């Protein structure tokens, strides 16, 4: 089965990438030393391992969200950020930075999750129960716009340029020095989100035929909308809480795997998760290996990857239309 | 009030593997620490645009890019961090129970001097700290103006950023015989100056600290500024003098008093 | 059991789309729904499929209100072939036809019954040779047949088709019409919205004519396909004749002033 082979291939590549990630960093730690139980294994077990797991988890969550978004909106250019939940989660996190949070390491992620929750509720309120896609997309754009403006406002009101720069830096996305605490907080939320997303698989397939046919096949569009909103909200919220804003994964990955997986929306979900995990793990290793004074911000690395991808997409579409 | 000192070893032993993550702390260490005590300084000190230490001196020390694993690999017995180290990194270090000293941005001479003392005590060189503070006091006295006039001035830090009241720059201006116009304009602690204020009530001196050496700030070449050039004295001010307190203050007040004296000569 | 609809009314944005529409879809018979553009035909079909709730009136199968049925049970019983033949993803034909089995499928995988239904549906619509082709690369006519195969794969008891002949060539049009007739012969109740009057004559057992949301005629084919009723419905003068082989022909001649 093509499907099985694809998934196994991606899984294998992912495991290899995770190994690379454990080897990546400014300090060289030979594999023989990993479990020796002293400083070297400290670096591996307390710093690089949680970071690797987080990169894979966030990549998987964002990849799967992107696949569901594209299936739900019937648009191969949809991105989890379209719902505005990443914006509202970021606003929550930025608020905690703005009001000063040296109190507890957990405060920023919790604020981010709260922001995501508020975003989800606002979406539900704005879009109503109609299930209309246009209304939904508009509501998401409004939410993204409002969150973005408020975030910019907080940046401009920051008391010192250093505080402003701290906020901006956080927004650019990074996994530097994340710990098991971050993993413990983000992983269950992401897992819950991905389970919700997995339940949409069949309905997304039915939507291939359009909404009327899908409903006649027994799809409950309102339940589907809730699952999508919840799934995307939880996965994106947890990702932002752990690592700031990381874009393009949800957009690029489903695109890349779709032709390999046979175009059926349900078949794209698992490969997107695996490929997303692979992509982000590799990118996060790259930012540590690239020689520079300090680590390249992960969000920037993804954007730099995303732009040429879009150019390639544009050229291919032009050729097809010509 | 701001320094968080977490020492788990008795103060008897002098730290011999200090890692600094903050360029301002680096500058202080250059004066008060024995070079053998320093395991690494911050990567900013190797960058000509961001360093507060003479580059040649800085290059003698290794640097870290600020990630926890690099710091841990050096097995430090004291880590000095400023206010802008990423919190996950701070928490990672705290979890390993490493002695961590966190410093805020010093917004006054007093605050800077007490930071210098605390650093010196923490590294076991209290006398050197006292010596540095004495040198700072001496420089301040030498830069005090000979008359009571407070000349209106403004420090312009590129893209219109202006340090206002309750900043170190504000205090240094005052001590060298200037009046910081930012409060008169109603600006906050750090703010962007609208050009209209400058036109309505121009200062006597405009210190420009924006942009790399030789590159003129976009706002400074504004035609409106050129019109004012006969009324305002525009003087260079090295940007690095605004980055840190500590030993940089000596050079800062030297520059400020130099300009002050030249103004006295041509009223 | 028949599907009866009684007094169906629907008002959308101030317009009365359907007004007290009453009729019956009998199992084993083809009911053709005729009417000018905007007469409410597609809306009626949506209501019969349970996709729209009428403001008043009742649609029942036997004595069960279809809007009270479990969603999946209704999906098993009633199949809808919508007017827009949307295909959003470039999936292969077999996967597309398999979508028709969704109301029947268990949680995991497909049973033998599912596979059998899919194969039969594809054979009936002459799509077997298209099995591995990608849906978006097919011609308009091929897509039309594949979409019909999808609905046939669901083995519905009521088959509702909204203008299923668009983009098909004459040969395939006749094939689809005959296939729909065949479905009725094997026991399903079929309702089709058609534009071409001769096509309607070819397969209709009963005809329902809508004008501005109201039923202006309902009954067996020969009673409804008359010049007077069609003039009222469409505003055109028609000529009704017979082909040499005996098939009824209905040809619009000119507009009625």
Contact criterion met (CB < 8 Å) for A43 and B95: no
Q: Which residues pair with C132 in a beta bridge?
A: none
Determine contact, residues A202/C102, Cβ cutoff 8 Å.
yes
Q: Indicate whether A184 pLDDT > 70.
A: yes
Of the candidates B72, B105, B188, the beta carbon closest to that of A43 is on: B72
Overall residue count recorded for chain C in this entry: 257
For strands C56-61 and C64-65, give the pairing: antiparallel
**How sure is the predictor about C236, in pLDDT bands with cuts at 50, 70 and 90?**
very high
Identify the band that residue C95 occupies on the pLDDT scale cut at 50, 70 and 90.
Answer: very high
Sign of CA dihedral B181, B185, B191, B194: negative
Polymer length of chain A: 322
Residues of chain A contacting residue C153, judged by C-beta atoms under 8 Å apart:
none
pLDDT for position A101 = 61
B100 touches B90 (CB < 8 A):
yes
- Is the pLDDT at A269 greater than 90, yes or no? yes
Query: What integer pLDDT is reported at residue A296 of this predicted model?
Result: 82
Shortest Cα–Cα distance, A65 to chain C (Å): 18
Q: Do C and B make contact, counting contact as 3+ CB pairs within 8 angstroms?
A: no
Res B5 pLDDT > 60: no
Q: Is residue C36 a contact partner of residue C53, using CB atoms and an 8 Å limit?
A: no
Q: In the predicted model, is pLDDT for residue A10 greater than 80?
A: yes
Q: What angle do CA C216, C221, C226 make, to 5 degrees?
A: 60
Q: Residue A108: closest CA among chain B residues belongs to which residue?
A: B87
In this predicted structure, the answer to whether residue A161 has a pLDDT above a threshold of 80 is no
Instruction: Tell me how far apart the alpha carbons of residues B183 and B165 are, in angstroms, rounded to a whole number.
Output: 6
List the single residue in B46, B88, B188 with the smallest CB-CB distance to A178.
B88
Q: Is the pLDDT of residue C257 over 70?
A: no
Tokens of B34: 């024995």
Average pLDDT over residues B7-27: 78
Which positions ≥6 away from C117 have C-beta within 8 Å? Answer: C100, C101, C104, C153, C154, C155
- Is residue B256 a contact partner of residue B180, using CB atoms and an 8 Å limit? no
- For A141-168, what is the mean pLDDT? 87
Helix (H) or strand (E) holding B205: strand B205-208
For A217, the closest of C86, C102, C134 (CB atoms) is: C102
How many independent structural domains does chain C possess?
1
Of A74, A213, A220, nearest to C80 by CB-CB distance is A213
Please count the structural domains in chain A.
1
Percent of chain C with pLDDT over 70: 100
* Between B47 and C118, the higher pLDDT residue: C118
Which subunits count as partners of chain A given 3+ CB pairs below 8 Å? B, C
> The tokens of A134 are what?
């246009």
Closest CA relative to residue B251, chosen from B265, B237, B234, B235: B237
pLDDT at A16 over 80: yes
To which H or E segment does residue B163 belong?
strand B161-163
Best residue in C42, C77, C93, C99 for a mutation probing chain A (most A CBs within 10 Å): C99
Per-residue pLDDT of B110-148, as tens digits, reads: 999 999 999 999 999 999 999 999 999 999 999 998 888
Contact C80 A218 (CB under 8 A): no
Q: Give the model's pLDDT for residue A115.
A: 93
What residue spans of chain C are helical by DSSP H? Answer: 41-48, 71-77, 93-98, 112-124, 140-153, 170-185, 197-203, 221-224, 227-234
Q: B113 Cβ partners below 8 Å, 6+ apart?
A: B133, B136
Res. A211: pLDDT tops 60: yes
Which candidate, B152, B261, B159, B147, places its Cα nearest to that of B201?
B152
What pLDDT, in 10s, does the model give residues A87-127?
Answer: 999 999 989 887 766 456 678 888 999 999 999 888 888 87
Strand ranges in B28-89 using DSSP code E only, listed in sequence order: 38-42, 63-64, 78-81
pLDDT tens profile A51-84: 999 999 999 999 999 999 999 989 888 888 888 8
Question: How far apart are the C-alpha atoms of C230 and A215, rounded to whole Å?
Answer: 34
Residues of chain A above pLDDT 70, percent: 96
| Position A133 pLDDT exceeds 60 | yes
Least Cα separation, residue B264 to chain A (angstroms): 34
Q: What is the pLDDT of residue B10?
A: 42
Pick the CATH number of B4-139 from 3.20.20.70, 3.50.50.60, 3.40.50.10810, 3.40.50.1980: 3.40.50.1980
Per the structure, the complete domain to which residue C45 belongs is given by 3-255
Contact A177 B67 (CB under 8 A): yes
With touching defined as 3 or more inter-chain CB pairs under 8 Å, the answer for chains B and A is: yes
**Interface residue A161 vs chain B (CB under 8 A):** yes
Q: Cα separation of B258 and A280, whole Å? A: 55
CA distance B59 to A241: 38
List the one residue out of B25, B74, B215, C202 whose CA is nearest residue A42: B74
CA-nearest residue of chain B to A29? B73
Residue for token digits 């909308």?
A: A225
Tell me the C-alpha distance between A229 and A224, whole Å.
9
Measure Cα distances from A95 to A87, A108, A182, B105, C45 in Å: 12, 8, 19, 21, 52
CA distance A26 to chain B (A): 6
pLDDT band for C155, please (50, 70, 90 cuts): very high
Q: In which order are the strands placed within the sheet that holds B233-236? A: B178-180, B151-156, B205-208, B233-236
- Give the angle subtended at the CA of A243 by the CAs of A237 and A244, to the nearest 5°: 70
A251 close to B (CB below 8 A): no
Per-residue pLDDT band for C127 (boundaries 50, 70, 90) equals: very high
Which CATH code is given to the segment(s) B146-265? 3.40.50.1980
Rounded-to-integer distance, Cα B169 and Cα A135, Å:
53
Q: Which residue has the tokens 């503070």?
A: B133
Q: How confident is the model at residue B11 (pLDDT cuts 50, 70, 90)?
A: very low
Using an 8 Å CB-CB cutoff, list chain A residues near B190: 159-161
The residue among A54, A158, A160 with the most chain B CBs within 10 A of its CB, best to mutate, is A160
Residue B213, pLDDT > 70, answer no
Which chain A residues are Cβ-neighbours of B66 within 8 angstroms? 294
CA atoms within 13 A on the CB side of B213: 5
Lookup result for tokens 């011999």: B16
Q: What is the mean pLDDT of chain B?
A: 85
Q: Are C210 and C194 in contact (CB under 8 A)?
A: no
Distance CA C195, CA C198 (A): 9
Distance CA A303, CA B200 (A): 44
Alpha-helix residue ranges (DSSP H) falling in chain B:
23-32, 55-58, 68-73, 87-95, 109-122, 126-143, 168-175, 181-184, 195-200, 223-228, 240-243, 248-265
pTM attached to this predicted model: 0.84
Intra-chain end-to-end CA distance of chain B, in Å: 43
Give yes or no for residue C243 having a pLDDT over 70. Answer: yes
**Chain C 196-255, residues with CB within 8 Å of chain A CB atoms:** none
Q: Among all residues of chain A, which has the CA nearest to that of C153? A: A217
Contact A137, B49 (CB under 8 A): no
Whole-angstrom CA distances from B89 to A196, B71, B93, B241 are 33, 10, 6, 28
CA distance A287 to B90: 20
Beta-strand relationship, B78-81 and B63-64? unpaired
Say which of A48, A102, A177 has its CB closest to residue B86. A177
Smallest CA–CA distance, residue A162 to chain B, in Å, is 7
B68, closest residue in chain A (CA to CA): A177
State the pLDDT confidence band at B265, using cuts at 50, 70 and 90: low
Candidates C51, C92, C95; nearest CB to A212: C51
**Would you place residue B219 in the very low, low, confident or very high pLDDT band (cuts 50, 70, 90)?**
low
Per-residue CA distances from C8 to B28, B33, C24 (Å): 87, 91, 12
- The residue ranking higher by pLDDT, B250 or A46, is B250
CA R_g for chain C: 18
Sheet with C64-65: strands ordered across:
C15-25, C3-12, C56-61, C64-65
Q: Does the pLDDT at position B1 exceed 50?
A: no
Judged against a pLDDT cut of 70, whether residue B182 lies above it is answered with: yes
CATH number at residue A316: 1.10.3470.10
Look up residue C190 and give its DSSP letter: E
In the predicted structure, residue B223 carries a pLDDT above the cut 90: no
Element (H, E) at A211: helix A211-216
Q: Which chain A positions have a beta carbon within 8 Å of B70's beta carbon?
A: 25-27
Q: Give me the pLDDT at residue A130, please.
A: 64
Higher pLDDT, B191 or B53: B53
State how far the alpha carbon of B86 is from the alpha carbons of A163, A216, B93, B226, C232, in Å.
12, 53, 11, 42, 79
At B47, list the tokens.
């960058």
Token digits of residue A197: 């997303």
With 70 as the cut, is the pLDDT of residue A277 above it?
yes
Rounded to whole angstroms, how far apart are CA atoms C176 and B241?
Answer: 85
Distance from CA of A144 to the nearest CA of B (A): 26
Inter-CA distances, A282 with A77, A101, A197, A301, Å: 23, 31, 24, 11
Average pLDDT over residues B207-222: 63
Q: Can you say whether residue C225 is alpha, beta or left, with left for phi > 0 and alpha for psi between -120 and 50 degrees?
A: beta
Mean pLDDT of chain A: 88
User: What pLDDT was estimated at residue A160?
Assistant: 74
Interface of A with B in 273-312 (CB under 8 A): 292-295
Q: C92 and A262: CB-CB below 8 Å?
A: yes
Listed by start position, the domains of chain B span 4-139, 146-265
Q: Note whether C touches A: 3 CB pairs or more under 8 A.
A: yes
Encoding tokens for residue A322?
């010509």
Answer yes or no: are the C-beta atoms of B235 and B173 closer than 8 Å: no
Confirm or reject contact between A204 and chain B (CB < 8 A).
no
Q: Which residue has the tokens 């129960």?
A: A129
- Which residues of B make CB contacts under 8 Å with A? 43, 46-47, 63-70, 72-73, 75, 83-84, 86-89, 91-92, 95-96, 105, 161, 188-190
On chain C, the residues whose CB falls within 8 A of the CB of A216 are: 49-51, 75, 78-80, 82
Instruction: Write the residue in B73, B161, B190 that is nearest to A27 by C-beta.
Output: B73
Give chain B positions within 8 Å (CB) of A102: 87
Contacts of A285 (CB under 8 A, 6+ apart): A17, A20, A21, A23, A24
Which residues in chain A are contacts of C51 at CB distance < 8 A? 212, 215-216
The reply to whether C102 touches chain A by the CB within 8 Å rule is yes
Q: What is the pLDDT of residues B64-117, one digit of tens each?
A: 988 898 999 999 999 999 888 888 888 889 888 889 999 988 999 999 999 999
- Say which residues have a Cβ less than 8 Å from residue A200's Cβ, sequence separation at least 6: A68, A71, A72, A224, A227, A228, A231
Look at A26 and B190 and tell me if their CB atoms are within 8 Å. Answer: no
- pLDDT higher than 60, residue C98: yes
Which of A96-100, A177-181, C20-24, C133-137 has the lowest average pLDDT? A96-100
Q: What are phi and psi of C33, to 5 degrees?
A: -105, 120
Of A162-166, A263-267, C25-29, where does mean pLDDT reach its minimum?
Answer: A162-166
């Amino acid at each position: 089965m093509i499907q099985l082979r694809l998934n196994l291939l991606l899984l294998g590549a992912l495991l290899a990438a995770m190994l690379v990630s454990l080897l990546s960093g400014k300090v060289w730690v030979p594999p023989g030393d990993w479990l020796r139980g002293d400083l070297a294994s400290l670096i591996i077990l307390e710093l690089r391992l949680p970071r690797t797991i987080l990169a894979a988890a966030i990549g998987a969550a964002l990849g799967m969200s992107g696949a569901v978004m594209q299936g739900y909106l019937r648009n191969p250019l949809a991105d989890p950020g379209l719902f505005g939940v990443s914006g509202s989660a970021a606003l929550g996190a930025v608020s905690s930075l703005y009001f000063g949070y040296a109190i507890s390491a957990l405060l920023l992620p919790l604020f981010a999750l709260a922001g995501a929750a508020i975003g989800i509720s606002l979406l539900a309120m704005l879009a109503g129960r109609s299930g209309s896609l246009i209304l939904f997309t508009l509501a998401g754009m409004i939410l993204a716009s409002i969150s973005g403006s408020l975030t910019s406002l907080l940046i401009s009101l920051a008391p010192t340029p250093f505080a402003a720069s701290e906020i901006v830096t956080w927004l650019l996305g990074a996994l530097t020095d994340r710990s098991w605490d971050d993993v413990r907080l983000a992983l269950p939320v992401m897992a819950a989100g991905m389970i919700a997303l997995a339940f949409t698989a069949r309905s997304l397939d039915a939507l291939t035929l359009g909404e009327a046919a899908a409903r006649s096949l027994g799809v409950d569009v309102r339940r589907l909308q809730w699952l999508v909103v919840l799934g995307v909200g939880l996965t994106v919220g947890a990702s932002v809480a752990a690592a700031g804003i990381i874009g393009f994964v949800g957009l690029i990955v489903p695109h890349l795997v779709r032709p390999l997986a046979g175009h059926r929306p349900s078949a794209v979900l698992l490969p997107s998760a695996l490929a997303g995990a692979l992509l982000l793990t590799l990118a996060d290793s790259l930012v540590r290996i690239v020689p520079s004074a300090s680590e390249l911000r992960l969000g920037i690395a993804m954007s730099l990857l995303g732009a040429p991808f879009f150019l390639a997409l544009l050229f291919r579409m032009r050729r097809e239309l010509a | 009030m701001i320094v968080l000192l977490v020492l788990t070893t008795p103060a008897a032993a002098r730290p011999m593997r200090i890692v600094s993550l903050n360029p301002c702390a680096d500058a202080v260490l250059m004066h008060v620490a024995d070079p053998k005590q320093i395991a690494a300084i911050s990567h900013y000190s190797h960058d000509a645009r961001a360093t507060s230490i003479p580059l040649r001196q800085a290059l003698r020390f290794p640097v870290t890019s600020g990630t926890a694993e690099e710091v841990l690999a050096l097995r430090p017995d004291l880590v000095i961090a400023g206010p802008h180290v990423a919190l996950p990194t701070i928490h990672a270090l705290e979890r390993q129970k490493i002695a961590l000293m966190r410093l805020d941005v010093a917004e006054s001479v007093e605050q800077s001097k007490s930071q210098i003392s605390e650093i010196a005590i923490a590294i076991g060189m209290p006398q050197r700290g006292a010596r540095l503070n004495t040198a700072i006091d001496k420089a301040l006295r030498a830069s005090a103006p000979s008359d009571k006039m407070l000349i209106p001035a403004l420090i312009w830090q590129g893209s219109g950023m202006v340090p206002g009241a309750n900043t170190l720059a504000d205090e240094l201006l005052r001590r060298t015989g200037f009046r910081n116009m930012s409060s008169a304009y109603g600006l906050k602690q750090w703010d962007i100056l609208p050009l209209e204020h400058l036109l309505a009530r121009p200062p006597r001196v405009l210190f420009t600290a924006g942009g790399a050496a030789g590159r003129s700030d976009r706002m400074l070449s504004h035609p409106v500024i050129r019109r004012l050039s006969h009324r305002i004295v525009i003087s260079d001010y090295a940007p690095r003098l605004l980055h840190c307190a500590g030993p940089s203050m000596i050079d800062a007040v030297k520059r400020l008093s130099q300009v002050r004296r030249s103004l006295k000569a041509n009223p | 059991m028949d599907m009866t609809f009684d007094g169906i009314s629907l008002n959308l944005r101030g317009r009365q789309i359907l007004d007290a529409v009453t009729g019956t879809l009998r199992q084993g018979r083809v009911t053709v729904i005729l009417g000018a553009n905007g007469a409410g035909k597609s809306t009626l079909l949506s209501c019969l499929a349970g996709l729209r709730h009428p403001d008043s009136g009742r649609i029942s199968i036997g004595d069960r209100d279809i809007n009270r049925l479990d969603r999946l049970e209704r999906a098993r019983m009633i199949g809808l072939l919508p007017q827009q033949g949307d295909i959003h993803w470039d999936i292969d034909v077999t996967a597309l036809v398999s979508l028709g089995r969704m109301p029947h499928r268990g949680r995991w995988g497909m049973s033998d019954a599912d596979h059998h239904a899919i194969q039969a549906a594809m054979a009936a619509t002459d799509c077997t040779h298209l099995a591995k082709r990608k849906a978006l690369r097919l011609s308009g006519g091929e897509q039309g047949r594949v979409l019909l195969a999808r609905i046939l794969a669901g083995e519905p008891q009521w088959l509702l088709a909204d203008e299923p002949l668009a983009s098909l060539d004459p040969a395939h049009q006749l094939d689809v019409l005959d296939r729909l007739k065949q479905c009725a012969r094997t026991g399903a109740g079929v309702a089709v919205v058609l534009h071409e009057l001769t096509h309607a004559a070819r397969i209709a057992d009963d005809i329902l004519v809508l004008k501005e949301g109201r039923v202006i005629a309902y009954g067996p084919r020969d009673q409804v396909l008359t010049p007077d009723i069609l003039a009222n419905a469409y505003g055109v003068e028609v000529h009704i004749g017979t082909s040499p082989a005996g098939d009824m022909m209905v040809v619009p001649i000119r507009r009625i002033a």
